Structure 1
């Protein structure tokens, strides 16, 4: 497994007349090996931009982004990425979507079918291997996307609101499945979400962002393995209240 280190990261976008909008300001954050870290904050605070930079999908103005102390050079197979939109290729079956990613990662033809099958089994979709994306529910499509992201064995999994488009029941099922996968295979995970309960339930640590900056990092002292009964525990509710209070403060006081 791997660590992800972000040091003194600055990111801005150009505005009219030479001005710039500062999106990330001197961000320092380390995700340790096997750690599950969620990032929460109000819309527009920069959390998705931070994840996109860690994925190598966006450039930044200054600072460092390192995997195991080595600077990233754009996207790489050391990092798997899952977005809210399922991003499956509609002309390929579930199995073929995974095999396509494996081919792009340089896996031999003889390996791809077996690895794809293993990862469909991992997300409990072996029975849907030959279905087209249009034949799958939203939750099933996202499970294929997760299987695809894990198939080439990345060191780090980066997830941007992966369950945001799902109904409440499917979302809970996906959260539980993700925890089962993580507890079995132990990945370093950066998970961006608007859902405070989801962040606490999944994570070892929750990073609370205010616009362009990190406000707090909160350790989650709740034993694993977890089930949804922990969401009623006083410690869970106290942390949830603490995070909500920070996020809901007026921006001028944040």
Structure 2
């Protein structure tokens, strides 16, 4: 196996507290390969989003090693696209203009911004809505724009924090299938945070379960289900068994350590 796309070793994170430092993450060790789809799952407060934010370069960490393509992560970078549950679109710009705005910040010319933004709006199947404003778009459409924006500057890694959590069930499944299609076509490495175990099994190559107090990796599951996955996959015995095992790991890690 070659050099991992993402390498995390001995990573810990403390936050200041009234009675002293609070350890949020403890001794995280995790490698992601090129074009691997890995989901982080666990009870609320286990540090999933904190870990993803650290990989995005939006938070610091207290100790450990954090590398992408062998280089230290010291802040946000164009090599990593980030998508949150909240769409964070600029309401006074159209769908296409929201993508162009990110590209201008990346240093592209106006003409190149237009072409690249249009291509990515088409990629997420919003060509007919390129000139619509966020207020005119559904939640699923807004998230498509956010994904187009994150992909527009050609990152090799996509970091997603509960991106479909606010969507209805049908739209959520459509977005999962769109994400899978984009991931397969563009060979992205994806680190995906979700509370939905079914979603994690449906999307992932590997599932990493985290436990509480402090947040740490408690179990890893390799998803051996064939691709492409469909609605029928969810009802198979292998899918159900894996979902049950992941849920059991989350439950086991949801109780605080004894004092």
TM-score using structure 2 length: 0.95
1:207-234 Cα shifts (integer Å, max 9, x gaps) = 0000210011110001111112111111
Which moved further from structure 2: 222-231 or 199-208? 222-231
CA distance in 2, matches of 1:2, 1:20: 32
Which structure 1 residue ranges, 4+ long, deviate > 2 Å from structure 2? none
Aligned to 2:255: 251
Aligned to 1:12: 14
Distance apart, 1:252 and its partner CA: 4.1
1:141-166 Cα shifts (integer Å, max 9, x gaps) = 00000000000000100000000010
CA distance in 1, matches of 2:158, 2:138: 23
Aligned to 1:240: 243
Q: Please tell me whether the aligned partners of residues 25 and 213 of structure 1 are also in contact (alpha carbons under 8 angstroms).
A: yes
Distance apart, 1:56 and its partner CA: 0.1
1:1-21 Cα shifts (integer Å, max 9, x gaps) = 97011111010111114x111
Residues 2 and 133 (structure 1), Cα distance of their counterparts in 2 relative to 1, 3 Å cut: farther
Say whether 1:222 aligns with 2:234. Answer: no
Aligned to 2:69: 68
Distance apart, 1:28 and its partner CA: 0.5
1:134-192 Cα shifts (integer Å, max 9, x gaps) = 10000000000000000000010000000001011110110011111111111000000
CA distance in 2, matches of 1:194, 1:238: 18
Q: Which runs of 5+ in 1 are unaligned?
A: none
Q: Please tell me whether the aligned partners of residues 34 and 187 of structure 1 are also in contact (alpha carbons under 8 angstroms).
A: yes
CA distance in 1, matches of 2:222, 2:52: 20
Equivalent residues in 2 for 1:134-149, closer than 5 Å: 134-149=135-150
How many pairs align?
A: 253
Aligned to 2:112: 111
Q: Please tell me whether the aligned partners of residues 157 and 190 of structure 2 are also in contact (alpha carbons under 8 angstroms).
A: yes
